[in-house]
């Protein structure tokens, strides 16, 4: 998905990359929260 986007000569590419990283981090945190909940449920 990301590799189709041209990165050269784009002044906003760095900002776009940072916001993409922020979204990915949020998604990872959500996945980790879900995994932790599942883990806690199985351990209890």
User: Which residues have C-beta within 8 Å of that of residue 20, sequence separation ≥ 6?
Assistant: 2
Count of alpha carbons within 13 angstroms of residue 34, beta-carbon side: 6
Whether the Cβ atoms of residue 22 and residue 14 lie closer than 8 Å to each other:
no
For residue 27, the enclosing domain spans 17-43
Residue 21 lies in a domain: yes
At residue 5, the pLDDT reads 61
Query: If you write DSSP's letter for every residue of 1-44 in order, what string do you get?
Result: -GGGS--TT-TTHHHHHHHHHHHHHHHHHHHHHHHHHHHHHHH-
Residue 35 lies in a domain: yes
Residue 1 lies in a domain: no
Residue 7 lies in a domain: no
At residue 31, the pLDDT reads 96
Residue 39 lies in a domain: yes
At residue 43, the pLDDT reads 80
At residue 28, the pLDDT reads 96
Q: How many distinct structural domains can be found in the chain? A: 1
Note the pTM of the prediction, 2 decimals: 0.53
Q: Which residue stretches of the chain have pLDDT < 50? A: none
Residue 5 lies in a domain: no
Residue 23 lies in a domain: yes
At residue 7, the pLDDT reads 58
């Amino acid at each position: 998905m990301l590799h189709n986007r041209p990165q050269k000569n784009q002044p906003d590419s760095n900002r776009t990359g940072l916001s993409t990283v922020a979204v990915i981090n949020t998604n990872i945190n959500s996945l980790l929260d879900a995994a932790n909940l599942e883990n806690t449920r199985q351990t209890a």
